[in-house]
Every structure is written in structure tokens, then in C-alpha cells.
């Protein structure tokens, strides 16, 4: 077994750590990128019936729009969406709960679990199912977004017990 030693740990430390970078480039690139990621996520979610994509992809894009901000100094994050660790856990659980509730409501109307046609929207079955799919996907989106942010926060947690 040989140890890979190139450079001392002190000179490598700043590059390896995920510290925010106070750079004009980062700010200039990230600002429009975060905005377009969120717009793309919304499009992918609501257009999932007609094009590739859906809840999972949209949730990942939304999470990316939040955790990319980790590279920007805290003072530059004003006006952007940030999610705390607690917020991420709540988001993930609420998303799964929301998707499950969309499945449970039809049971209250005598249909089987996840049979969206029984959702009380007063439309014909096919259109109701289409809307039910969208509601279900919204739940999946928030669940995936919260899950990814939770994992990212826990990987980035600084004060780790040895």
C-alpha cells in the first residue's frame, strides 16, 4: 500500500473544501443560470404529459437551482431561494405526503387507491386523470427536491463528530 502524497494538506485545503467563492464570474454566471433552471423545472413539470420529463427531473432541477448557490457568498444570496436543513426535510416529507393524499382522495369517493378519475373536479374521466397526474407529479417534485437538498446538506455539514 502506498500513500498518494502530492502537495501538503494546508495548500490543498481551500481548493478541496466547498467554500463560497467571492468572484464576479461566479455571480454573473450563476444568477441567470439559477433563474433559467427554475423556469426549466416549471416547464418540465407542467409539460411532462407532452414531452420527456416530469416530477423527478423537475425536482432535481429545482434542487440544483438551490444548491448551486452554495458557491456564492452568503451576502450575495439576497433574493434567491434558499432552503435550510429543516426546510429540506419538511419539503421531502410533505411531497411524499402530498402524492399519497392525491392517491387517497379517490378512496374517499369509493374508487381504488390512485384512481384519479374519481377526483372531485367535475370533468370527464380522462381529463380528470390528466389533472390527477399533474397533482401527483407536483408532490413527487417537492419530495425529490427535498430529498436531494437533505442529502446535499448532510454531505456538506461542517462540524462533524469524529
Partner 1 sequence: MNALVALLLGLTVTGIVLALVRVNNLLATMALLSALSGFLVLIFALLGAVDVAFMEAVVGVGVSTMFLMALLGRVDPDRVFRAGPMSRVWGGIVASTLGVSLVYGVSLLPTFGDPLSPASKHVARDYVAGAMRDMETPNVVTAVLADYRGFDTLIETTVVLAAAMACVLLLGRRP
On the 0-12 / 13-18 / 19+ scale of CB atoms within 10 A, 87 is middle
Distances (CA, A) of 67 to 55, 129, 149, 157: 18, 34, 7, 13
- 147 in contact with partner 1 (CB under 8 A): yes
Contact window for partner 1 (CB under 8 A) among 14-22, 24-32, 75-83 = 14-22
Binding positions for partner 1, 78-97, rule CB under 8 A: 85, 89, 92-93, 95-96
User: Going residue by residue from 96 to 115, which x/- string records binding to partner 1, judged by CB under 8 A?
Assistant: x--xx--x---------xx-
Residue 152 binds partner 1, judged by CB under 8 A: yes
30 vs 64 by CB, closer to partner 1: 64
| Rounded CA separation 99/143 (Å) | 9
Binds partner 1 by CB under 8 A, chosen from 26, 42, 90, 133 = 133
| 119 lies in the site for partner 1, by CB under 8 A | no
C-alpha 133/C-alpha 66 separation (Å) is 25
24 is a site residue for partner 1 (CB under 8 A): no
Cell of 55: 416530477
Please, are residues 41 and 138 in contact by the beta-carbon 8 Å criterion? no
29: nearest Cα among 82, 72, 64:
72
Please, what is the Cα angle at 123 between 121 and 127, to 5 degrees? 105
- Quickly tell me which residue has 464570474 as its cell: 25
d(CA 76, CA 47): 32
Answer yes or no whether residue 145 interacts with partner 1 by CB under 8 A. Answer: no
CA proximity to 97, closest of 144, 139, 39: 139
Contact residue for partner 1 among 30, 48, 69, 119 (CB under 8 A): 48
Among 30, 67, 105, 119, binds partner 1 (CB under 8 A): 67
Q: Which residues in this chain contact partner 1 in the complex, by CB under 8 A?
A: 1-7, 9, 12, 16-18, 44, 48-57, 60-61, 63-64, 67, 85, 89, 92-93, 95-96, 99-100, 103, 113-114, 116, 125-127, 129-130, 132-133, 136-137, 139-140, 143-144, 146-148, 150-161
Amino acid at each position: 500500500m502506498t500513500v498518494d502524497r502530492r502537495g501538503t494538506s494546508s495548500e490543498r485545503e481551500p481548493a478541496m473544501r466547498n467554500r463560497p467563492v467571492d468572484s464576479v464570474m461566479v455571480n454573473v454566471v450563476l444568477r441567470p443560470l439559477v433563474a433559467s433552471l427554475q423556469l426549466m423545472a416549471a416547464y418540465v413539470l407542467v409539460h411532462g404529459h407532452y414531452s420527456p420529463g416530469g416530477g423527478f427531473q423537475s425536482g432535481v432541477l429545482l434542487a440544483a437551482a438551490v444548491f448551486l448557490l452554495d458557491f456564492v457568498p452568503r451576502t450575495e444570496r439576497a433574493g434567491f431561494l434558499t432552503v435550510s436543513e429543516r426546510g429540506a426535510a419538511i419539503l421531502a416529507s410533505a411531497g411524499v405526503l402530498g402524492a399519497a393524499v392525491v392517491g387517497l382522495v379517490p378512496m374517499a369517493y369509493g374508487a381504488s387507491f390512485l384512481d384519479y378519475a374519481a377526483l372531485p373536479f367535475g370533468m370527464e374521466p380522462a381529463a380528470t386523470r390528466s389533472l390527477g397526474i399533474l397533482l401527483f407529479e407536483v408532490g413527487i417534485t417537492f419530495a425529490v427536491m427535498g430529498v436531494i437538498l437533505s442529502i446535499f446538506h448532510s454531505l456538506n455539514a461542517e462540524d462533524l463528530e469524529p
